[in-house]
Structure 1
Amino acid sequence: MSEKTYPYTAWVLLPSFKPKLETFVCHASYGHEEVQTGKWYLPDAIYETKAKAIAAGREKIKTQLADLEKRREKLNKKIASLDKAERE
């Protein structure tokens, strides 16, 4: 987003990944922005449109799935090591 005048509305993703329209009331220190309820968001967690918020959420899910797959591979190697040790 370019220069902002407060208040303005934008979209954020809740921890449940549900997009929510928020009204931002001020810019705070360390780059955070405050909404009417007193919550703070970093600029990279604020989206101009609902579609952009949803797309960002999908990208986060892809990253999380990739991380889970890496963990699964490591666990499978550990299981294989235990199975091999059990057969010896």
Structure 2
Amino acid sequence: MANEKPGQDDIWFAPKRFGYGAGWPIAWQGWVLLGGYLAMLLLGSHYVAPGHPIGFGIFVSVLTIAVLALSATHTRGGWRWRWGGDDE
């Protein structure tokens, strides 16, 4: 059942009020994901970036795509364009 929508317990992010995407984390898992992403960027900048700018670009791209995919599947109401109403 890999294509199942996450249940209420699997919601880590609130939807943005305006625009497309996720807002701030609303569960500890979202904060861990955000903190882990930032920590990995810092570690990557220290260990990968000094001698390999292209490798660092690939590292950041893969890491960002993974975080975006996880946050998209764990956002209440999914990712879609919102105009600021209560249209969840």
Higher relative contact order, structure no. (Cα contacts within 8 Å, ≥ 6 residues apart)? 2
TM tier, smaller = 0.3 to 0.5
Name the TM-score, length of structure 1 as normaliser.
0.33
Greater share of strand: 1
